[in-house]
Amino acid sequence: MEQSHVSALQLKHAGIERKIHEELSRPMPDLAMVQSLKKQKLKLKEAITHV
């Protein structure tokens, strides 16, 4: 059960990483959105390490 929870968090983390990369590769990236995504990614990373 706990492993599936960690796997789900890791998938979300990877998805956010992909969104950040996609946004930054655009000609005019939305930096506020990137900052928000980075905060979400950090929270997920903390959740993964504390499980």
Please state whether the predicted TM-score (pTM) of the whole model is above 0.85: yes
CA distances 38 to 5, 10, 31, 44, Å, are 21, 14, 10, 10
Residue 2's pLDDT is: 82
Residue 13's pLDDT is: 97
Residue 42's pLDDT is: 97
DSSP state letter for 49 = H
Residue 15: domain span: 2-49
Number of domains in the chain: 1
What's the CA gap between 33 and 20, in Å, rounded?
8
Residue 5's pLDDT is: 92
pLDDT tens per residue across all 51 residues of the chain: 588 999 999 999 999 999 999 999 999 999 999 999 999 999 999 999 987
Q: Which H helix or E strand runs over 2?
A: helix 2-24
